[in-house]
Amino acid sequence: MNVWWEKISAEWPPALKLWVARGLSVALGLVLAITLHYVLYRMGLPSKPFIYVSF
């Protein structure tokens, strides 16, 4: 999981590495928040669509 991270951050100063890691973690949290929020919206939609028929 972290091979790519090791590879791209190998030459970075420790402070930069730290802040990028923090930023990525926050971003992942935000993405998950948006996903959860949207999934709740979709789950709230009726499973059967309503088709109006005049009578």
Partner 1 sequence: MNDAPDNSASPGTWFRPGFFLGGLLAGIVALAGAGQWAGRHNTHPGTERFHPRISPEGRYSPTVDELCAIVRARCRPDQILVIVGGNSIFNGVGQPPEKLWTLELQKQLGDGFGVVNLALRGAGCTEGATVIAEVLRNEYPRIIYVTNTSPFTPPEPLGVQAYEYIFWEAYYRGLLVDFAPRDEQLNKYVRPPESPLPLVHYLQKDRAALIEIEHFKVVAWLRRLGLRAEVGLDAALKYRDLWNWMGYEHLFTVPSFYTPRWPGWMAARGRLRDEEPDFETMDFTSSERFAPRKTPIEMPIVRGFSERAYTEGGPEGWTLNAPVRNDFLAGAKRAVPDVFKSRTLVMLSRNSPFFFHMLSPAEARRDDLAYRDGAAAWREAGYASAEYGRDFLDEDFGDRTHLTASGGRKLAGITAREITALAERLGYFKEAGK
Positions touching partner 1 (CB under 8 A) are 1-2, 5-6, 9, 14, 17-18, 20-22, 24-34, 36-38, 40-42, 44-46, 49-55
CB of 49 to partner 1, least distance (A): 6
Distance between terminal CA atoms of the chain? 60
CB of 11 to partner 1, least distance (A): 14
In sequence order, the 6+-apart residues with CB closer than 8 A to the CB of 34 are: none
Cβ nearer to partner 1, comparing 11 with 45: 45
Neighbours of 5 (CB within 10 A): 13
